[in-house]
Structure 1
Amino acid sequence: MSDFRVPAHATLSLVDWMVESVVSRGKHLLIRTRPPVKVSAPPLSIHSHLLMEGHWDVYATGERWRSPAFKARAVLGNKAFTAVGFELGFLHVLRTTDEVEVIGHLGPDPLGHSWDPDEALRRLLIDPERPIGLALLDQRLISGLGNVYRSELLFITRVHPRTPAGEVEDLGHMVDIAHRLLHANKDRARRVTTGSDGMNPYWVYGRAGQACLRCGGTLQKESLAESTRSAERDVFFCASCQGSYVPSGGRTR
């Protein structure tokens, strides 16, 4: 089965094509396919990004889908299994040899086979004055970190979100913790950063106004953006554990 439910690829059929591999790069997913012998065509990659609401589900063929069919953007299947991409942020099909055009700008991926912590550190320090809370979300520097990991990582390493990247005392340690956090959660259905999959799987994310699990203080959130024209993203933190960054005079605890 091959069914692309987006205008750009509505007429594309990959029936009888073979899925050779499925790889991720940061938040991008690449399903690499090759044509049957009788078809003269280059290998193609199905490139998708989940953004906030998207997800790929795999079902036994004939099994009822857990999401409504009108939210499906791509359906791929064989006799045994069906993979359905729901509410995908975007979906493109391109030649596999052209993948660099869509993912070549991304930074090192903590879950990738070619993870390079030294390169990630170098990229984070390209602009040493940039707040670390913004740098961590820049997929050109490190790919794969989102808002949950950004907030949790800063709390674990006791760094205020507005601290300039160049002033983080041990940025290499932060890069190492990012790698460990993502690996610890890669096979879990639910992300956990506190070590407990109970009432509080997160230290700070989504918990503004609640008590800090470390010091008991009240957790806060702030909106960070590169400029007044860019989108703001809330970052959650504990002012007691992470200090209060004062731009003119440094960071105080």
Structure 2
Amino acid sequence: MPEGDTLHRIASALGPRLVGQPVCSLLLRHQSIDRLVGHLVTKVEARGKNLLVFFDEGTVLHTHLRMGGTWHLYREDERFRRSPTSATVVLAVPGLVAVCFRAPVARLVRASLLAGDPAIGKLGPDLIAPTFDEAAALARLRRLAGKEIGDALMAQEVVAGIGNVFKSEILFHERLDPFARVGAHSDDELLRLLAFARRIMVANANAKTRGTGLGAFFGHTRTTREGARPGEGPLSVYRRAGEPCYDCGAVIEMRRQGEARRSTYFCPQCQPPRLADAREARA
């Protein structure tokens, strides 16, 4: 599923090919956007799970892939690997076509309005961005003191980019109970959690892929388990419910969490319930 590392990889793949190029055509939900033809692409960037393509006349193309969206890059005469009817965005520049398939969110917005935009302006610090501000991220996390930490980490207004995979994996790495409240943790614990999340997400965003083109780019296998032994997968707990923990042998569990009922994977032995949180619940 596309999380912050995937979007940064997309931006890194699209940027060098699109920036500085004039728009030959742009289809948005099968409607031609003629006013952008001839204008230059000036920047391609990821903000959390969002991709932004900037044009020199002040328009920004914003896409969010949610669960099933994907970006492909083709030569201008190359056949799409997916049905053209599922193409949400088709952006053509000389010699190349960038196609976004099945994106639930695809829209145009003025660059001058991004700061106040409901979807973009409220995002928390991007964990992968060079300018990541850990103090600001910690302060935003503290505002959700009453939320379970597994749920709070998914709030994009706290830190941008974490999804279900990284949520479960970073909490396991730090041996933290996903169902304990944020307020039950010290600043040092939360800062260590954010530091590991940033380090592992940057590593995945910058990982090399085999082959060429954007298809190979999506073939990257996300890895969160550093120094895995032979026979171990690249992830510690995610989608491993019912299997033994690589570290202690206990059975990995999955529980739904938060209003959205997202899946959270954890080891009940490596991540035992936090006693302070249990006392608070009894009170």
**TM-score of the two chains, using structure 2 as the length reference:** 0.79
Matched, 1:3 2:17: no
- With CA pairs under 8 Å and 6+ residues apart, which has the higher RCO, 1 or 2? 2
Partner SS for 2:269? helix
Query: Which residue of 2 is the match for residue 49 of structure 1?
Result: 64
CA RMSD of aligned residues (A): 1.9
- Write the letter of the residue equivalent to 2:253: Q
| Cα contact 2:232–2:246 (8 A) shared by 1 | no
Which blocks of at least 5 consecutive residues in structure 2 are unaligned?
Answer: 1-23, 208-219
CA distances 1:151-171 after superposition (whole Å, capped 9, x unpaired): 001000000111111222411
Query: Which residue of 1 is the match for residue 243 of structure 2?
Result: 210
| Cα contact 1:61–1:81 (8 A) shared by 2 | yes
Query: Which residue of 2 is the match for residue 123 of structure 1?
Result: 140
Map residues 24-43 of structure 1 onto 2, 5 A cutoff: 24-34=46-56, 42-43=57-58
Instruction: Tell me by how many angstroms 1:26 deviates.
Output: 0.5
Q: Which has the higher strand share?
A: 1
- Write the letter of the residue equivalent to 2:192: H
Paired with 2:25 and 2:120, the residues of 1 have a C-alpha distance of 24
Instruction: Tell me by how many angstroms 1:231 deviates.
Output: 1.9
1:70–1:184 CA distance, 2 compared to 1 (3 A): same
Q: Count matched residues.
A: 238
Paired with 1:127 and 1:47, the residues of 2 have a C-alpha distance of 28
Paired with 2:43 and 2:249, the residues of 1 have a C-alpha distance of 47
Instruction: Tell me by how many angstroms 1:61 deviates.
Output: 2.0
Aligned equivalent of 1:232, options 253, 258, 261: 261
Aligned equivalent of 2:223, options 192, 210, 216: 192
Instruction: Tell me by how many angstroms 1:199 deviates.
Output: 5.7
1:70–1:163 CA distance, 2 compared to 1 (3 A): same
| Cα contact 1:25–1:109 (8 A) shared by 2 | yes
Query: Which residue of 2 is the match for residue 18 of structure 1?
Result: 40
Matched, 1:85 2:100: yes
Matched, 1:156 2:187: no
Partner SS for 1:99? helix
Percent identity at matched positions? Answer: 32
Query: Which residue of 2 is the match for residue 37 of structure 1?
Result: none
- Write the letter of the residue equivalent to 1:4: L
Aligned equivalent of 2:252, options 219, 243, 246: 219
Map residues 164-175 of structure 1 onto 2, 5 A cutoff: 164-169=181-186, 170-175=189-194
Instruction: Tell me by how many angstroms 1:3 deviates.
Output: 3.4
Partner SS for 2:99? strand
* Bigger mean CA deviation after superposition, 13-22 or 233-242: 13-22
CA distances 1:153-210 after superposition (whole Å, capped 9, x unpaired): 1000000111111222411100101110110100342211113597611100000000
Query: Which residue of 2 is the match for residue 96 of structure 1?
Result: 111
Query: Which residue of 1 is the match for residue 124 of structure 2?
Result: 107
Paired with 1:111 and 1:68, the residues of 2 have a C-alpha distance of 32
**TM-score of the two chains, using structure 1 as the length reference:** 0.88
Paired with 1:145 and 1:248, the residues of 2 have a C-alpha distance of 26
Paired with 2:231 and 2:249, the residues of 1 have a C-alpha distance of 18
Instruction: Tell me by how many angstroms 1:249 deviates.
Output: 2.4
- Write the letter of the residue equivalent to 2:33: L
| Cα contact 1:159–1:168 (8 A) shared by 2 | no
- Write the letter of the residue equivalent to 1:26: G
Which blocks of at least 5 consecutive residues in structure 1 are unaligned?
Answer: 35-41
Paired with 2:88 and 2:112, the residues of 1 have a C-alpha distance of 24
